[in-house]
Amino acid sequence: MTIRSFPLTLAGMFLATGAFAQVELTQQDSQWFTDGESRIDELAAIQPNTGKAKNVILFIADGNGVGTNYATRLWVGQQEGGMGEDYVLPQEAFPNLALVKTYTTNGQTPDSAPTASAMNTGVKSRNGTINVDDAGAYDSCDAAANAGLTTFSEIVSDMGKSVGVVTTARVTHATPAAVYAKTANRDWEDNTGLPENCAQKDIAAQLVDAVDAGTVDFVMGGGRRHFLPNGITDDEGAEGRRTDDRNLIEEIEGKGWQYVWNSDTASQIDNSKPVLGLFEASHMQYEEDRDGEPTLAEMTEMAINNLSDNDDGFYLQVEAGRVDHANHAGNLHRAVTDGAAFADAIEQAVSMVDPEETLIIVTADHEHAIAFNGYCGRGTPITGLCYQVDDNGTQHTGEPNVGLDGKPYTAAGYLNGVGSVMREVVPEEAEATHENVDGQAETSAEAEAADAPAQPEYTGSRPDLTQEEATDVDYLQQALIPMTSETHSGEDVALMANGPWSHLFRGVMEQNMIFHVMNYAVNAE
């Protein structure tokens, strides 16, 4: 594995010069100490790879910020029989690391459309838009035509490379769409969302155009409903949404592409032909619930096998889209199980490509409002109750920590979401009265008719909770602010990279710099 050089630490320099030779180190036999010295030797031997990148693989776990990644690390480590904290996910073994700023041109907190755009065009833009410069207004039908940005897929396909998109979300969703589409509104996934006489095509129709242009060669994910006309049912009985009578699946098949819709048909693809895989009417299933659909690792393997037929190389964007959806739902269990599937996909890719010629980048588009609670002892189940620290041991005591209300709390929660401990107060109508101007009591309904709608009142207290309840796959983590869907957060996300020019990822970077490193790597002399 070709990885960058790393400066010796101060301690490492002392060791190298023998400065510690006259000092007896009482900790020198500790495994922590010997492991640290071994790691210093590994880091000191790292050299940068300055060759041209034949291939680029951009892994994006949607909503998988530093906190969510931390939860996944513990989950995977605990599932493998350890305490979890010391576990190393495949991407965490990569030598190059940066923190990435995710804000957009109009949002301290981003959505997935402009963040994916930044990675695919090198330019930051407005929330809700995909590959459209700020010169084009949000929700404007003329924006994509007048302010559309050149994508990385257009650049590399012009170099003769193949392009692939893999996602567990709909292929027309914000992150995968950023590989091939330009839209002033991320929700225009099929023609039903477009304003009348709109100059811009919908996202699914733009995928057909990308097929014609040769800027995409392999697509797998969900979203069949956006490709089929209303009145036509798909292979699993769901109805299409298009009202323009276009069957985009048939159109793409007519261009020489293979169409697959489940694990069985996907296992029979011919790598000499391009592939369209649509495995659900909407998003693919969560990893926890997967049945009859390929895993993210399997789709990644199929994509690399197919795209590798091109001697000029490829660009592949792989998205674990449902990490984000599980966080929005406040369901940490499905967030970490999809996060584990994401790690499996990375491990699969690493095993299949030559690290000397393949730049692999692993990052997230944004984080969520996830938070970690209390003083938990080691090995505390990350989706469950926070156990007390054993003062004289290593693993937790097995006794839950409790708040001032005397009730236990989970190791992780959310600042807002559907799991809020606050509940709306709904008073009985007979009691919700006040006097009108004539001194007569009127009902709350009459009052609302006369006045502005009353703001709902909320109250609440935390329920008591057992470990069995907290670790149930369907448990929604406790949250503070009541929301119908938990929100993103604006904090930095991590980026981990390996391969040609991956050493350019360092420090704290703007998100649009990801494009610039990829572009530099494929054009290096």
| Closest to 316 measured CA to CA, from 98, 120, 132, 37 | 120
Q: Which amino acid is at 416?
A: N
Determine contact, residues 70/411, Cβ cutoff 8 Å. Answer: no
434 belongs to an annotated ligand binding site = no
Q: Which two tokens stand for residue 154?
A: 């257009």
Cβ atoms of residues 458 and 423 within 8 Å: yes
Is 365 assigned to a binding site?
yes
- The answer to the question of whether 175 is labelled as a binding residue is yes
Q: In degrees rounded to 5, what are phi and psi of residue 513?
A: -70, -20
DSSP secondary structure, 206-224, as one string: HHHHHHHHTS--EEEEE-G
The closest alpha carbon to 144, from 195, 102, 97, belongs to 195
Neighbour-count burial of 164, counting CB atoms closer than 10 A to its CB (0-12 exposed, 13-18 middle, 19+ buried): buried
Contact 489, 65 (CB under 8 A): yes
Does 333 appear as a known binding residue?
no
Q: For the chain, what is the largest distance between any 2 Cα atoms, rounded to a whole number of angstroms? A: 95
Q: Is 435 helix (H, G, I), strand (E, B) or coil?
A: strand
Is 394 annotated as a binding-site member? no
Q: Which residues are catalytic?
A: 112
Strands 218-222 and 358-363 turn out to be unpaired
> Do the annotations mark residue 396 as ligand-binding?
no
What is the token pair recorded at 509?
């970077």
Q: What would the 3-class secondary structure string for 439-475 be?
A: CCEEEHHHHHHHCCCCCCEEECCCCCCCHHHHCCCCC
Is residue 283 a known part of a binding site? no
Q: Is 62 annotated as a binding residue?
A: yes
Q: Is 488 annotated as a binding residue?
A: yes
Binding-site residues for Zn(2+), in ranges, read: 62, 324, 328, 365-366, 488
Binding-site residues, in ranges, read: 62, 173, 175, 319, 324, 328, 365-366, 488
Binding-site residues for Mg(2+), in ranges, read: 62, 173, 175, 319
